[in-house]
């Protein structure tokens, strides 16, 4: 006689085990998704460097030509 133990997993408190496993899988997937989104913004993206910012300030008229030349010279030395 072959015994069917499948029903034993759902009798009594056995269903808590399955809900626990399901909860862990869902929470792990949620944690991975949250961590992925949060840390994604810290990946180095191409941005502005000092020369780009200097050019924008000069174009907006915030600095004069002499100051622009001096700052550009200072930046090129670094």
**Which band of pLDDT confidence, cut at 50, 70 and 90, is reported for residue 6?**
low
Long-range contacts (CB closer than 8 Å, 24 or more residues apart) made by 45-54: 50/75, 51/75
More confident residue, 3 or 47: 47
Per-residue pLDDT at 64 exceeds 80? yes
pLDDT digits (tens, 9 = 90+) for 14-51: 778 888 899 999 999 988 888 887 777 666 556 778 88
* pLDDT on residue 24: 93
Closest CA to 55 of 43, 71, 76, 41: 71
């Amino acid at each position: 006689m072959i015994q069917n133990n499948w029903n034993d997993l759902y009798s009594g408190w056995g269903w808590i085990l399955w809900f626990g496993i399901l909860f862990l899988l869902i929470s792990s997937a949620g944690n991975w998704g949250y961590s992925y989104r949060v840390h994604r913004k810290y990946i180095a993206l191409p941005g502005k460097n000092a020369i780009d910012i200097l050019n924008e300030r000069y174009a907006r008229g915030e600095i004069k030509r002499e100051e622009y030349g001096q700052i550009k010279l200072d930046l090129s030395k670094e």
